C-alpha cells in the first residue's frame, strides 16, 4: 500500500481486512504471504564468475596483447622452436594479463557486498498480534496487515503505519535512512503533503530504523523489497559503476596506440614485400612469415606490457600513504580520481558534524537587583564524552561550576528528568548513547558541571576509569534523589516531569519546550545567591528574547528546566502539578560541527573544489551549520545557493542547470534525491565525490565518481564506497585529494616514461626494417626490456615528491590527455633518440668495433644475400650475439637515463637531483644488476640470446646513451620558458568528447 501515509487508520485497516484488536487470522496470514511475498530482501542475481573473468579481457590493448602472444607462439612452432624459448614470450604476456584480471574480479566481487550488508538492518524478531494473541515471531514471517507492537530499543521490522499510541509519544531514530540529526516524533494523523518525502511521513515507521522513546502499535504495510530499505536496494542495483578518469584516458590512449601500432606493423610488412623472395628466407611464403614476425615484434615493442602492472602498483603505493592519513581506499582507481574531483557532495550529519547532540549554551538569571540580569555560559566539547568545560560570557573557564546555584540545579534536573543512558564501549573506544540524543546531551552536561563541595573535583573525576566516568555524576544524583513518579512527555504538554524524594523532601523536576515551561513558571532561581524570586512580565520577556535568539539566530534546539517543592509524602504526579514552577535555566544544544571542517572548507575553495552540503535536516538548521563551517563564507545572500529538495525539483530544467552551478546546500533530501544530484552534476561534466555514512547514502555513494564513507558509518555505506575515512573527518578528504593529485602527477610521469621508451623500441625495429639490416633485437629481449628494465624505474617514479603547490592548482579537466600536445612531441623526440641510439649501437659493432668484422655498410644492408655471394667473411657473423647484446644494453642504459629525466615534468636535474627520489636510484641500480646478471651468467645469457661485453663496448654504450639527458634538458628549458608551445595531434579529438558521451560509448 503505497499511500498509507495519506490514509486514515481505519482506511488502512480496512484495506488489509484486519481487526486491530485481534490481528490477522492464520488463513489471512497464508493468503497475504502468497500475495505479498516474504519479509526479506531478495537475493540479487550474482554475475557468473566466468562472465566476471571474461569481462576483464574486454579491452583493446589486452586483445592486441593476447593476439601478439598467440601469433608469437604459432610462429615459434612454425619455425620449429621448442622448449622454454618458444613459450617464454607468450607465457609472460598471459601471466601479466591473468594477474590484472584477478585484481579486476576481486574489485567487482567486493562491490556486490554492499547489497548483502543491507540485510543486517532487518530486524530479527517482532511482537505480533495474531488470532487475538500476542507472540514473538521471526521478522521474516511478517506479512502486510500484521499488527505489531514496538517500544524503546526495537528495530522496526517492516514499513508500518501507526494505528495506536501506547505512551505519551513515540520517537524514532531514522538517521540511517534520512540523515536527520535528531530523532523524529511519530503520530497517528494522515499526511496531506504533496510529493511527500520520508521526513513528511510522520505516521510511518520505516524498516531498519530504531525506536528511541515510547511505545505504540502499527500495521505492516510493506515487506521485503516493498520497504524503504528495499527501494535503496533497487536503487543500488540500477547503479552502474563509473569508469574513472584515468581508466578513460588510458582506454582512449590504448585505442589511439592500437591504431598507430596496426598502421606501423602493416607499413613495415608492406615496405619489405620486395624482400619476401630473398634466398635467405627459402621462398616467398617463408619470407612473408619472417617479416610478419618482425611486425609482431614491433607490436610487442610498441605495447607497454608492464603498464597495467605499474599503474596498479603505483596506485597501491598511494593507498598505503593514504591509509596513514586515515583514508582507507577500497578501490584502487579511486586514488587517482580524487585528484580531479571538482565537487564534493557532503552529508551533513556525522560527516561535517559529530552526529552527537551537545549542549553548547546555557542561559540563567543572575539577579534582578538592578533590573533583570541574565547570564549566558558556553559549554565546550562536541561528543558524548564527558570531557569539556563551562565558560562565562567573557570566555573565562569556571573552575567549579557546581558552586553556582543555577548550574548545580541544571545538573540535577538533567540527570534526574532523564530516561537515557550513557556508557563507554571499550571495543570501539568511544562513548555511546541509549535513548534520545537530546537527553544524552543533558547527561553529558551534568558530567561537565560536576559535583559540589569538593575542591579536588575536576582532577578526582579525571582519575576514574572511562567506564566509571561515563555517568559518575549522574549516578551520584540518582543515589541522592530517589525517583518516585514520572509524567512522560506528551505532544500537547511538550514537557516531562519526575518526582524525587531527597532527605524527607519531595521535589519535582521538569524539562520541556521553553514556551511550555516558562508559561508555567511563577518564580525564578537566581544564580548569584540561590534565592527564589517572583517572575514578572519584564523578566518573562527577557527570557523569551533569549530563547528566540538561541532558537532563531543560532538555530539551537532549546529546552527549559524547572523545579517545584512538592507536599511532604506525595507519591504520584498529575498534570495539575505542573504549574507554579521555579525556572532554573535554558539550555541550547546542537549537533556540533567538527572543529577541523572550517579549515578543510577553505582548502577546498583554494583548490577549486566546490562543496555542496546535502542533508535530510530542515533548512534553517542546515544553514546554521553551513555558516559555522564556512560553506557560506563567500556568499552575501543564500537565495539561489540553498534549496530544499522539493524546491529544487519544482524548478524548470534551465533553472535547475543554473542552480546546480551555484548550489551550496540541499536540504530535506531522501536517497533518490542524492543519487539524482550526483547524476545531474556528472551530466555537467563534474567529477563528483559523495560522502556519507547512512544506509540512505549507499546508492549515491555507488553512483558517484568516488564514494567516501565514514569509518563509524553503516556497513552498507562502507561496502558501496570507494574509500572509507577511518577518523570520520571531512578534513581527511582534503588531505586525500592532495595525495590523489600527487599520485596522478607521478602516474603521468611513469606513463610518459614507458611510452617514450616504447617509442624508442618501435623506432629501433622500424628503422632496422627500413634500412634492411638484420633484426636488431629478438622478441624475448624486447620483452625483458619492457617488463624488467622498464617496470622497476617506472614504479619508482611513483615515489616522486609532490609539488609544494599541489593544492593551489584548480582540478584538472577530465578531458586532459595523459600524453598530449607539446609533451607528446617531447617524448617523440626522446623516443626517436632512444631508437636511433639502439640501432647505432648495433651498426657500430659490425662496422667499427675492434672485436667485430668491420664490414662495409653496404655488406650489412645486403646481409640476406650473403649465402648466394662470395664474401670475405663467414655468413655466420650475422648470427653473432654481440651486436644485439650491444643494442639491447644501449636500450637499457638510455632508458635508465631517461628515467632520471622523469623526476619532474619540467624541472631540471640541477634543481631536482636524482637523490631526491632514492627509490628511483635504487631501482636503476637493481635494473642494471639484473641486466649484468643475464649478460654474464651462461644459462640466462643463452635464454636471452646475449653475451658478455668488453670495457670498450661498455664505454661506447655510455657515449650513445648519455645524450638523452642533454636532449631532455633542452626540451624542459623550452617548456619552462615557452608556455605558448602547443602541438595539437589528431588523437586529441577523443578528449574533446563531453563526459556524458564518453559514458554512453
Say if residues 156 and 205 touch (Cβ distance below 8 Å).
yes
Q: In what order do the strands lie in the sheet with 688-692?
A: 327-329, 723-725, 706-710, 688-692, 343-347, 610-614, 665-667, 642-644
Query: Could you tell me where the DSSP H helices lie in 417-566?
Result: 437-449, 457-462, 466-469, 472-480, 514-520, 537-548
Long-range contacts of 397-404 (CB under 8 A, 24+ apart): 399/458, 400/450, 400/452, 400/455, 400/457, 400/458, 401/448, 401/449, 401/450, 402/449, 402/450, 402/451, 402/452, 402/453, 402/457, 403/452, 404/527
For residues 487 and 495, give the distance between their C-alpha atoms in angstroms, rounded to a whole number: 9
For residues 38 and 404, give the distance between their C-alpha atoms in angstroms, rounded to a whole number: 59
For residues 564 and 320, give the distance between their C-alpha atoms in angstroms, rounded to a whole number: 61
Pairing type for strands 521-525 and 532-534 reads: antiparallel
Cell numbers 507472540 correspond to what residue? 135
Task: Give the residue numbers annotated as catalytic, written as ranges.
Answer: 347
Rounded to a whole number, what is the distance in angstroms from the first to the last CA of the chain?
Answer: 40
For residues 965 and 973, give the distance between their C-alpha atoms in angstroms, rounded to a whole number: 12
Q: Radius of gyration of the chain from Cα atoms?
A: 37
Task: Quote the distance between the C-alpha of residue 639 and its chain's center.
Answer: 30
Three-class SS state of 406: helix
For residues 152 and 170, give the distance between their C-alpha atoms in angstroms, rounded to a whole number: 9
For 909-963, the three-class secondary structure string (H helix, E strand, C coil) is CCCCCHHHCHHHHHHHHHHHHHHHHHHHCHHHHHHCCCCCCCHHHHHHHHHHHCH
Pairing type for strands 482-487 and 159-173 reads: unpaired
For residues 968 and 964, give the distance between their C-alpha atoms in angstroms, rounded to a whole number: 6
For residues 118 and 113, give the distance between their C-alpha atoms in angstroms, rounded to a whole number: 9
Say if residues 609 and 343 touch (Cβ distance below 8 Å).
yes
The count of residues in the chain is: 1001
Say if residues 633 and 685 touch (Cβ distance below 8 Å).
no
What nine digits make up the cell of 323? 591509509
Q: How far is CA 843 from CA 346, 882, 890, in A?
A: 63, 11, 12
50 CB burial (10 A radius; 0-12, 13-18, 19+): exposed
Amino acid at each position: 500500500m503505497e499511500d498509507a501515509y495519506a490514509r486514515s487508520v481505519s482506511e488502512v485497516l480496512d484495506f488489509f481486512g484486519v481487526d486491530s484488536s485481534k490481528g490477522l487470522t492464520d488463513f489471512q496470514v497464508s493468503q497475504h504471504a502468497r500475495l505479498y511475498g516474504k519479509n526479506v530482501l531478495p537475493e540479487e542475481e550474482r554475475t557468473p564468475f566466468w562472465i566476471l573473468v571474461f569481462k576483464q579481457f574486454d579491452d583493446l590493448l589486452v586483445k592486441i596483447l593476447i593476439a601478439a602472444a598467440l601469433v608469437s607462439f604459432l610462429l615459434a612452432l612454425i619455425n620449429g622452436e621448442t622448449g622454454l624459448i618458444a613459450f617464454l614470450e607468450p607465457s609472460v604476456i598471459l601471466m601479466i594479463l591473468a594477474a590484472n584480471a584477478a585484481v579486476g574480479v576481486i574489485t567487482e566481487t567486493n562491490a556486490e557486498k554492499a547489497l548483502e550488508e543491507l540485510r543486517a538492518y532487518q530486524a530479527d524478531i517482532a511482537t505480533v498480534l495474531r488470532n487475538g494473541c500476542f507472540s514473538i515471531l521471526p521478522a521474516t514471517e511478517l506479512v502486510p496487515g500484521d499488527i505489531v507492537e514496538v517500544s524503546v530499543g526495537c528495530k522496526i521490522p517492516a514499513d508500518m503505519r501507526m494505528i495506536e499510541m501506547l505512551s505519551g509519544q513515540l520517537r524514532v531514530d531514522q538517521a540511517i535512512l534520512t540523515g536527520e540529526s535528531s530523532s523524529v516524533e511519530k503520530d497517528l494523523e494522515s499526511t496531506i503533503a504533496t510529493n511527500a518525502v520520508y521526513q513528511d511521513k510522520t505516521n510511518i515507521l520505516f524498516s531498519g530504523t530504531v525506536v528511541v522513546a515510547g511505545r505504540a502499535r502499527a500495521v505492516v504495510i510493506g515487506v521485503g523489497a516493498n520497504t524503504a530499505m528495499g527501494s535503496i536496494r533497487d536503487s543500488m542495483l540500477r547503479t552502474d559503476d563509473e569508469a574513472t578518469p584515468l581508466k578513460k584516458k588510458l582506454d582512449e590512449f590504448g585505442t589511439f596506440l592500437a591504431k598507430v601500432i596496426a598502421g606501423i606493423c602493416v607499413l613495415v610488412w608492406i615496405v619489405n614485400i620486395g624482400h619476401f623472395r630473398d634466398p635467405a628466407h627459402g621462398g616467398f611464403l617463408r619470407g612473408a612469415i619472417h617479416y610478419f614476425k618482425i611486425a609482431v615484434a614491433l607490436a610487442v615493442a610498441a605495447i607497454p606490457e608492464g603498464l597495467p602492472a605499474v599503474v596498479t602498483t603505483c596506485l597501491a603505493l598511494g593507498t598505503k600513504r593514504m591509509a596513514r592519513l586515515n583514508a582507507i581506499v577500497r578501490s584502487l582507481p579511486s586514488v587517482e580520481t580524487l585528484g580531479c574531483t571538482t565537487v564534493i557532495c557532503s552529508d551533513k550529519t556525522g560527516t561535517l558534524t559529530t552526529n552527537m547532540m551537545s549542549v553548547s549554551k546555557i542561559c540563567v538569571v543572575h539577579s534582578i537587583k538592578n533590573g533583570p540580569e541574565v547570564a549566558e555560559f558556553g559549554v565546550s566539547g562536541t561528543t558524548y564524552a564527558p570531557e569539556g568545560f563551562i565558560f562565562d560570557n567573557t570566555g573565562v573557564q569556571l573552575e567549579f561550576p557546581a558552586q553556582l546555584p543555577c548550574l548545580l540545579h541544571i545538573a540535577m534536573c538533567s540527570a534526574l528528568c532523564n530516561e537515557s543512558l550513557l556508557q563507554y564501549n571499550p571495543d570501539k573506544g568511544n562513548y555511546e548513547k541509549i535513548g534520545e540524543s537530546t537527553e544524552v546531551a543533558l547527561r553529558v552536561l551534568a558530567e561537565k558541571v560536576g559535583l559540589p563541595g569538593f575542591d579536588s573535583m575536576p582532577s578526582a573525576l579525571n582519575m576514574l576509569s572511562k567506564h566509571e566516568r561515563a555517568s559518575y555524576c549522574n549516578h551520584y544524583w540518582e543515589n541522592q534523589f530517589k525517583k518516585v513518579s514520572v509524567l512522560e512527555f506528551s505532544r500537547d504538554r511538550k514537557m516531562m516531569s519526575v518526582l524525587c524524594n531527597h532527605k524527607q523532601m519531595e521535589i519535582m523536576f521538569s524539562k520541556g519546550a521553553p514556551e511550555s515551561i516558562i508559561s508555567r513558571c511563577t518564580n525564578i532561581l537566581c544564580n548569584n545567591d540561590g534565592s527564589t524570586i517572583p517572575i514578572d512580565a519584564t523578566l518573562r520577556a527577557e527570557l523569551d528574547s533569549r530563547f528566540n535568539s538561541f532558537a532563531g539566530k543560532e538555530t539551537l534546539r532549546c529546552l527549559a528546566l524547572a523545579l517545584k517543592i512538592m507536599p511532604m509524602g506525595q507519591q504520584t504526579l498529575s498534570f495539575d502539578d505542573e504549574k507554579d514552577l521555579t525556572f532554573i535555566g535554558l539550555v541550547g544544544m546542537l549537533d556540533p560541527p567538527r572543529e577541523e571542517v572550517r579549515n578543510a572548507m577553505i582548502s577546498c575553495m583554494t583548490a577549486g573544489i566546490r562543496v555542496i552540503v546535502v542533508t535530510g535536516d530542515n533548512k534553517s538548521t542546515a544553514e546554521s551549520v553551513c555558516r559555522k563551517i564556512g560553506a557560506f563564507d563567500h556568499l552575501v545572500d543564500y537565495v539561489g545557493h540553498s534549496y530544499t529538495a522539493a524546491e529544487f525539483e519544482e524548478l524548470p530544467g534551465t533553472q535547475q542547470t543554473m542552480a546546480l552551478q551555484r548550489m551550496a546546500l540541499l536540504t530535506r533530501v531522501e536517497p533518490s534525491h542524492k543519487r539524482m544530484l550526483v547524476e545531474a552534476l556528472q551530466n555537467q561534466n563534474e567529477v563528483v565525490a559523495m560522502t556519507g555514512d547512512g544506509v540512505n547514502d549507499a546508492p549515491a555513494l555507488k553512483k558517484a565518481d568516488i564514494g567516501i564513507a565514514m569509518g563509524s558509518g553503516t556497513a552498507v555505506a562502507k561496502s558501496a564506497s570507494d574509500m572509507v575515512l577511518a577518523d570520520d573527518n571531512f578534513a581527511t578528504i582534503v588531505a586525500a585529494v592532495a595525495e590523489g593529485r600527487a599520485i596522478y602527477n607521478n602516474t603521468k610521469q611513469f606513463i610518459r616514461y614507458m611510452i617514450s621508451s616504447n617509442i624508442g623500441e618501435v623506432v629501433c625495429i622500424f628503422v632496422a626494417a627500413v634500412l634492411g639490416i638484420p633484426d636488431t633485437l629478438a622478441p624475448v629481449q624486447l620483452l625483458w626490456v619492457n617488463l624488467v628494465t622498464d617496470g622497476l624505474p617506472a614504479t619508482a617514479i611513483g615515489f616522486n615528491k609532490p609539488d609544494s603547490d599541489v593544492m593551489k592548482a584548480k582540478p584538472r579537466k577530465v578531458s586532459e590527455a595523459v600524453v598530449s600536445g607539446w609533451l607528446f612531441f617531447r617524448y617523440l623526440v626522446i623516443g626517436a633518440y632512444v631508437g636511433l641510439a639502439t640501432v647505432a649501437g648495433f651498426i657500430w659493432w659490425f662496422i667499427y668495433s675492434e672485436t667485430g668484422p668491420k664490414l662495409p655498410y653496404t655488406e650489412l644492408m645486403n646481409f640476406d644475400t650473403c649465402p648466394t655471394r662470395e664474401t670475405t667473411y663467414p655468413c655466420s657473423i650475422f648470427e653473432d650475439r654481440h651486436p644485439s647484446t650491444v643494442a639491447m644494453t644501449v636500450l637499457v642504459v638510455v632508458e635508465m637515463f631517461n628515467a632520471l629525466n622523469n623526476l619532474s615534468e619540467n624541472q631540471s636535474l640541477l634543481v631536482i637531483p636524482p637523490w631526491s627520489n632514492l627509490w628511483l636510484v635504487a631501482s636503476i641500480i637493481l635494473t642494471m644488476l639484473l641486466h649484468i646478471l643475464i649478460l654474464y651468467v651462461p644459462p640466462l645469457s643463452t635464454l636471452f640470446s646475449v653475451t658478455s661485453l668488453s670495457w670498450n663496448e661498455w664505454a661506447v654504450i655510455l657515449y650513445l646513451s648519455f645524450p638523452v639527458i642533454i636532449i631532455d634538458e633542452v626540451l624542459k628549458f623550452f617548456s619552462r620558458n615557452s608556455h605558448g608551445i602547443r602541438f595539437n595531434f589528431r588523437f586529441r579529438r577523443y578528449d574533446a568528447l563531453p563526459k556524458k558521451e564518453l559514458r554512453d560509448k
